[in-house]
Copies of this chain bind each other. A is one copy, B any other.
Amino acid sequence: MVIVETKRDRRAERRESTTSEILTAAWELAGTQGLAGLSLRELAQKIGMRPPSLYWYFDSKNAIYDAMFLQGNRQLLARMAEVDWPSDAKGILRVCARSFVEFCVEDSRRFQLLFQRTIPGFEPSPEAYAVAVEVVEQMRARLAAAGLHDPAAFDMLTALVSGIAAQQIANEPGGDRWVRLIDEMIDLCADHFISKEANREKA
């Protein structure tokens, strides 16, 4: 039996660790200065580097935004994957809405980057965008699992949950004035859309 040892690439490990350190610092700075106000000078200073050194890890400032965008979407995918999904339709919708809003209000800058997209010159790369699309597809699949196949129902629910998240973040960060309304609204929508689907199936 031949054992092929996968040699640890310490260089790659180190590089990855520094890269992630930069991203962590970037998220923190975005929290204090505003996402759009992120500056490479401050970012470098925060981690004890000189600004040009950042370019060894990222091609440009937008590449940093891109990595953050990718990271945020992956976090959301991970979050959705670790959820304990109920089997009844209404339960699925509730859990889906709750996890999504929770994820959003946890970090307002991440919400801004992923879902508001108000950074001046930033457009996600195809690679990062693909992950964002995957997020949407996963959501759509969850709703389908709850019996909702109507695209309009999906659109309506995304507007609802992102609206709740946005209001909570903008008007009462850290609170639950809007978050606590989720269940009531989701139940209302669930009843409505599920009975609509049932009627359509009959026809």
Q: Which residues of A approach B to under 8 Å, CB–CB?
A: 33-37, 112, 115-118, 120-121, 152, 155-156, 158-164, 166-167, 170, 177-178, 181, 184-185, 188-189, 192
Contacts and interface: CB of A to CB of B under 8 A. Distances in A.
Contacts of A36: 36, 118, 120
Given A112-B118, A161-B163, 4 more contacts: A33-B120, A159-B178, A163-B163, A166-B166
Given A159-B163, A162-B163, A34 B177 contact: no
Given A188-B188, A189-B188, A116 B155 contact: no
24 contacts: A33-B120, A34-B118, A34-B120, A34-B121, A36-B120, A37-B121, A116-B116, A116-B166, A116-B170, A117-B170, A152-B184, A155-B167, A155-B181, A156-B185, A158-B167, A159-B160, A159-B163, A159-B167, A159-B178, A162-B163, A162-B166, A163-B163, A163-B164, A188-B188
A181 B160 CA distance: 11
- Copies of this chain present: 2
Contacts of A33: 120
A52 B33 CA distance: 27
Nearest to A108: B118
Contacts of A181: 152, 155-156, 159
Which of A33, A116, A156, A164 has the most C-beta atoms of chain B within 10 angstroms of its own C-beta? Answer: A156
A23 to B, nearest CB: 21
A170 B163 CA distance: 13
A161 B189 CA distance: 15
A168 to B, nearest CB: 8
